[in-house]
Every structure is written in C-alpha cells, then in structure tokens.
Amino acid sequence: MLKILKYSFYDLMRSRWSYVYFAFYLLLGVVLLFLNNDLSKAVITLMNVIIVLVPLIGTIFGVMYYYNSKEFTELLLAQPLKRSSIFLGQYLGVAISLSMSLILGLGIPFVFYGLFMSNAIWDFSLLLITGTFLTFIFTALAFNIALSNENRIKGFGYAILLWLFLAIIYDGVFLMSLIIFSDYPLDKLSLVGTMLNPIDLSRTLILLKLDISALLGYTGAVFKQFFGTNLGLIVSFVALTLWVVLPVLRITSKAKKKDF
C-alpha cells in the first residue's frame, strides 16, 4: 500500500492542480493578513472560506483522480497486489497531497506573520486540523461515489450534489426544522443535527474555540456547554474520525466486489 501511496502522491505533486491549489491558499493567506492586519480576524475569515472550499476541492479532486487513473488502476489490478491496498493507497495519496497544499499554503504566510508569537496559534491549528479532517472525509466520499458510478458525468453530478447538500441544503433544512418545531425543546436535536454533518461540526468547533459563541444566543450557550468541555471536544473528534473511517471501510468493501 505504501508504494501505491508513494506513486499516487508523487503523481499528484507533479500535477499542475496541486500547485494551483497551494498557490491559492498562499495568496488567500497573504491577502487576508494584509487586509485584516489581525491574526484572529484572519482566522475567522479563513474559516468561512475553508469550511466551504475544502470539501468542494476534496470531492472534485477525489472523483477526478479516480476517473483519470482508471486505466492505471487496471494495470495495477493485474499485478500481485491486494485490491484494498491499491485503492487505499490512491485515496491516501490524494488526501495527503491535498492536505499538504492546505497546511503549507496557509501555514507559510501565517508563520511569517508571527503566528508562533501570538495566542491565535491554537485557533489556527484547530482550523488546519478540521481542514485536514474535511479533506480526508470528502476525498473518501468522492472515492465512494466514483467507485459506485462507472459513468463519469453521473459520478461528477453526484459528487457536486453531495457537496451542495452538506454545505448548503443541510443547513437550510436544519434551520427550517428548528423554526417549525420551535415550540419544543430543541437543544438536543440541534446538537445531534450538528454532529451528523461534518461541515457543520467543523464550523461549530472553530466558532466556539474563537469565543464568539455569545453571538449565537441561547443555542450558543447550550453548544458552548457541550463543545466547550473536553467531553464535547472528544465526541466531536470521534464523530469526525467516524466520518473518515466509515467511507474508507466502504471503499475497501466496494473495491473487493467490483469488476474491472
């Protein structure tokens, strides 16, 4: 598996898109710091961008990489290699190279700005950790979609729909349900609802870390009570880890049964 991972990683590192992605974050980091002149504020703006963009890039890249390397995968399948190691290697190659672009692209400008001497370092680290989690989650989901759909157009369609659903539609439905059932106690429901969507979960985690939960009113207080504690943090990270592990398990089981 490590060899496949190595080759997928090198392959991606040499492709133009990794550089574009890296350069984008570099530029974003520099511009934000230049405009805000404040690390904490830059982190908040960055969060809004990352929470939407990272899943999108992860999904698109994952689906694209799978379809583009299809012929090569077939070449590998005829070699004495386990199917699970071929697909896990490719998945990790994509996820790690995307995470590298994110971490280096954002990290470099912030480090030069004096991140290590500021107290925003924890907020910033949390941002990068959730960003990495989101990359791993959405690349795994993308591989699932691509493995289940032979037709590229369909695969891309489903991938975009998935992103749209989790990034935008889910919030809308969630909010509507909160309004409709506003006569009932909803704090538990909204906690669970947040846990079930990795994008919402990441957003909430960062917002609460940034201590602007006062803006969220009563719900914010409930959330703060839960996510602010160590237990909340652990539960959140367990939820994010599950979001990685479950799709990855499905990749291996799906890959075992597939015809090429």
Could you say whether residue 150 binds another protein (CB under 8 A)? Answer: no
Q: Determine the Cα angle at 16 with ends 53 and 157, to 5°.
A: 45
Where do we find the tokens 């409930």? 222
We find the least distance from the C-beta atom of residue 76 to another protein, in angstroms, to be 7
- Least distance CB 93 / another protein (angstroms): 12
Q: Which of 59, 249, 43 is nearest to 136 (CA)?
A: 59
Query: What residues from 23 to 82 belong to the interface with another protein (CB under 8 A)?
Result: 69, 71-72, 74-82
CA distance 117 to 126: 17
Compute the least distance from the CB of residue 7 to another protein, in Å: 6
Which residue's CB is nearer to another protein, number 3 or number 154? 3
Measured between alpha carbons, how far is 200 from 215 in angstroms, rounded to an integer?
A: 16
Please state, in angstroms and as integers, the Cα–Cα distance from residue 120 to each residue in 54, 90, 124, 200, 233, following that order. 21, 35, 6, 22, 18
Here the tokens at position 134 are 């989101």
234 CB neighbour count, 10 Å cutoff: 10
Distance of alpha carbon 242 from alpha carbon 82, whole angstroms? 24
Of 79-98, binders to another protein (CB under 8 A) are 79-83
CA gyration radius, the chain: 19
Minimal distance, residue 100 CB to another protein, in Å:
19
Contact by Cβ (8 Å): 91, 139:
yes
Q: In the bound complex, what is the minimum distance in angstroms from residue 249's beta carbon to another protein?
A: 19
With CB under 8 A as the contact rule, which of the stretches 9-17, 110-118, 126-134, 235-243 interacts with another protein? 9-17
Q: Which is nearer to another protein, 90 or 197 (CB)?
A: 90
Nearer to another protein, 188 or 256 (CB): 256
Contact segment (CB under 8 A) with another protein among 35-43, 45-53, 229-237, 251-259 equals 251-259
Q: What are the residues binding another protein (CB under 8 A)?
A: 3-4, 7, 11, 14-15, 69, 71-72, 74-83, 257-260
